Structure 1
Amino acid sequence: MKFDNAEDIIQLTPLWTGERFQNGRPKVPDDILRRMRRITLEEAWSPLWHRGYDYQFQGDFESTHPGKVIVGRAVTAVFVPVRPELHDTLLQYGNEQENRKGFFNQWVIDSLVEDDVVVVDLFDKIYKGTFVGGNLSTAIAARTKRGGAVIWGGVRDTQQIAKIENINIYHRGIDPTPIREVTMLGMNVPCRIGRAVCLPGDVVLATPAGVIFIPPHLAELAVVLAEKSQARDLFGFQRLDEGVYTTADIDGSWAMPVWNDFLNWIATSEKAAEYRSLTWDEELEEARALEGKGPSNDARA
């Protein structure tokens, strides 16, 4: 039994071919995280849903900083109710064999780096299930800079945590009790949050609407498709407001004259500056193939 084991993490994430941390956790590029902060939960969700990832979203959270979105790479932890001999064995192993200090939750937080988000299955335990309070939240802020935590369990010291401006803690409830009667079975292992599944290195997008866990090998695709959706929406909103097109022109598959107008808008409009690196060859090929076939519904993702 090993915690945060590189061989296990690499085995669990075979579709990721990019850079990894020393412990094997996928390291989605910083630029993808930056771009992810600009997209909505639904925009990120759609590419996953259309590729068979049906269990990546979970709602029903409270948060310490309502309205604040966080994005980062997942560091996972899985807890179970305490069973004495199992608890003692795992705690002793971590302290003596892996030179870890303190309790299980401290092990997880001590491993964090910039842009990490802690993802914790505490089996929806709130009373004596408070994964963080003021001290550990301060440590999360110091280590992750702009990350935070998603906890399927409780928190404490929320008045103190609310004063930490650069993070957000998504959780299930508040209780003044310290964490007790729980044992960590695994660190950076598959983690269940409600009905969602998170793996170490997933990109966490936590919003007021809920939390989505994006597999690292799909993170760039999700961002690109979301940015394309945003660009088309901005163009469509503007042209509808100007009365240039009808809703049928914009909501359906675009005819080539609309596409030509859109590409000119991308090249010249200040609103489109951040989307100019996107390519549209596949969409244009599809539009040309549909010429003369009549209208159809649009499925962008």
Structure 2
Amino acid sequence: MSDPAAPFPRPAFELPVRGGAYRRPDTQTLRDLERVSSATACAKLHGMGITRSFVEGPRPLAVGQRVVGSAITLQFMPQREDLASGHGQEYVERHTALWHVLEEVKPGDVLVIQAFGSRYSGCIGDILARYFVKKGGVGIVVDGRIRDSDRIRELGLPVWSTGTTPHYASQTELFPWAYDVPVAVGGALCMPGDVVIADGDGPVIVPQAMAGSVLETAADHEDWEAFSRRRLDEGARLSDYYPLTPDSREEYELWRSAQAFAR
């Protein structure tokens, strides 16, 4: 009979897991996408056949926050005592994917974290968030909780999460397992290097190869909606300006030309 107090036999499996190399989107594309809302990006992707781009669940930590950046990914997995558990707190975590992914952050990155909507795992806290900002990170999207929320809010770092908790990352049922790998967040797939557009409506994942097409169609959409808002505020009929009719489209084109000339 085996001794129940004996250590678990450990499988021949090394942690953390790291995915393969990937390329980030070019900085000009990210800069141009800053004018595109998550709602417009989501709608344009839907028209192109990508129907699951919205990260359902995470909400903004602060009112008015917005970010556009390149996805760098972190995957939590369920704990299993023979492989990974949270005993030892941060002294264990410093050797996990959570610490490793932060060393890979580049300016303009958005950290996207798969945490299964856990209500108990505080995937990011104040100290790690500060280091993330120092490395040039611009936002965090986590399908789960954060801790030290007041201090993170003071940092001015845009964060989308499902809530807050006092727990540290591996205190309960999850463990930081892998980085630079595909992750599932709020029902959406995010690949390393995809574009994240997040604002008050929530985060949207734009496949990197489709970012240029989204930008091309969304820029015109954002412009004509701005024109339509102006005309509706002036008393115009909704059916004439949302969406544009052939006549109001012609009026919009003249308005847009005048705006460009004024610049």
Task: Give TM class, smaller chain.
Answer: 0.7 to 0.9
Question: Counterpart of 2:193?
Answer: 201
Q: Does 1:265 align with 2:246?
A: no
- 8 A Cα contact 2:60 2:199, kept in partner: no
- 8 A Cα contact 1:266 1:272, kept in partner: no
Q: 1:41 aligns with which of 38, 42, 56?
A: 38
**Take 1:101 and 1:175, find their aligned partners in 2: how far apart are those partners?**
20
Q: Give the deviation of 1:161 after TM superposition.
A: 0.9
Question: Counterpart of 2:74?
Answer: 77
Q: Does 1:169 align with 2:159?
A: yes
What is the root-mean-square deviation of aligned Cα atoms in Å?
2.7
Report the residue type matching 1:154 in the other structure.
R
**Take 1:172 and 1:214, find their aligned partners in 2: how far apart are those partners?**
21
- 8 A Cα contact 1:109 1:139, kept in partner: yes
Matches within 5 A, 1:149-188: 149-165=140-156, 167-180=157-170, 181-188=173-180
Q: 1:139 aligns with which of 131, 135, 141?
A: 131
**Take 2:209 and 2:229, find their aligned partners in 1: how far apart are those partners?**
32
Identify if the C-alpha distance between structure 1 residues 154 and 233 changes in structure 2 by more than 3 Å, giving closer, same or farther. Answer: closer
- 8 A Cα contact 1:231 1:272, kept in partner: no
SS at match of 1:130: coil
**Take 1:159 and 1:240, find their aligned partners in 2: how far apart are those partners?**
40
Instruction: State the TM-score, normalizing by the size of structure 2.
Output: 0.80
Higher normalized helix content (fraction of residues): 1
- Percent identity of paired positions between Structure 1 and Structure 2: 24
**Take 1:261 and 1:4, find their aligned partners in 2: how far apart are those partners?**
53
Q: Does 1:103 align with 2:96?
A: yes
Q: Give the deviation of 1:261 after TM superposition.
A: 3.7
SS at match of 1:131: coil
Per-residue deviation, residues 67-105 of structure 1 (Å, max 9, x unmatched): 2011111111221111123338xxxxxx9xxxx963321
- 8 A Cα contact 1:59 1:209, kept in partner: no
SS at match of 1:234: helix
Report the residue type matching 1:111 in the other structure.
E
SS at match of 1:77: strand
Instruction: State the TM-score, normalizing by the size of structure 1.
Output: 0.71
Question: Counterpart of 2:216?
Answer: 224
Question: Counterpart of 2:5?
Answer: none
SS at match of 1:132: coil
- 8 A Cα contact 1:126 1:155, kept in partner: no
Report the residue type matching 2:78 in the other structure.
P
**Take 1:234 and 1:206, find their aligned partners in 2: how far apart are those partners?**
20
Gaps of 5+ in 1: 7-22, 89-94, 274-301
Q: What is the count of residue pairs matched by the alignment?
A: 241
Report the more deviating stretch, 59-68 or 112-121: 59-68
Matches within 5 A, 1:123-134: 123-127=116-120, 129-134=121-126
SS at match of 1:83: coil
Q: 2:114 aligns with which of 110, 114, 121?
A: 121
**Take 1:240 and 1:206, find their aligned partners in 2: how far apart are those partners?**
27
**Take 2:254 and 2:36, find their aligned partners in 1: how far apart are those partners?**
23
Question: Counterpart of 1:56?
Answer: 53
**Take 1:103 and 1:230, find their aligned partners in 2: how far apart are those partners?**
42
Gaps of 5+ in 2: 1-13, 86-91
Larger RCO (alpha carbons 8 Å, 6+ apart): 2
Q: Does 1:4 align with 2:1?
A: no
